[in-house]
Amino acid sequence: MLDVTVIEDPSAAAVSLDPMRARLLAELAAGPASATMLAGRVGLPRQKVNYHLKALERHGLVELAGERRKGNVTERLMRATAASYVISPLALAAVQPDPGRFRDQLSARWLLAVAARLVRDVGTLITGAARARKRLATYALDGEVRFASAADRAAFVEELTRGVSALITKYHDEHAEGGRDHRIVVALHPTVKPDPEPSSTPEAPAPSIGAPEQA
């Protein structure tokens, strides 16, 4: 079972978004199970569960893990093909975000478009690497920083931009024979926290970098 896989096919995406099928995927990510076993967990007749499992299997979201005899019946044990799934923007190819349409480094929507492209491109690379049975060279840095003020955040962004730009200038060689282009994505956004307890005093919005973005 893969840790995560990317769904690129629109039909597979539609199948995975059905609430009951998503529930079955979650159950099967925890371990193989038969339609009879799943029926008791999700509160559906076995025939209905089988119907959903066949739809998931047709799109490669679940697979046969084995078979077992139970009386005069042979049960199929199914398992999820991944522990989690991500739907690629390719599933909505005609309306997928395009960062090339505009470039505003202080726009949350442009950041979202860049992130969507990242999911799309890395998903495509993973699929190609799996078919070629090759490893994919990637790197990601994830962390958190707490700024004392909006001014500190702006200074951090400026220093980060200078540092990354200097590294790009140092190592980029557009004439390197046999070289391969790589995309660099650096993002900064407020940390998403759980909803706070209801309060009689609303919290003031956090200050933004630059001009506020229009919704």
Q: Which long-range contacts (CB under 8 A, 24 or more apart) does 160-164 make?
A: 160/186, 160/188
Rounded Cα–Cα distance for residues 42 and 47 (Å) = 13
Query: Does residue 116 contact residue 36 with C-beta atoms inside 8 Å?
Result: no
In sequence order, the 6+-apart residues with CB closer than 8 A to the CB of 190 are 206
Predicted confidence at residue 199, as pLDDT, reads: 54
* 22-36, 144-158, 194-208, range with the lowest pLDDT: 194-208
What digits encode the pLDDT tens for the residues 77-99? 999 999 999 999 999 999 999 99
State the pLDDT confidence band at 71, using cuts at 50, 70 and 90. Answer: confident
What digits encode the pLDDT tens for the residues 59-68? 999 999 999 8
Q: What is the mean pLDDT of the chain?
A: 89
Rounded Cα–Cα distance for residues 204 and 202 (Å) = 6
Rounded Cα–Cα distance for residues 178 and 173 (Å) = 11
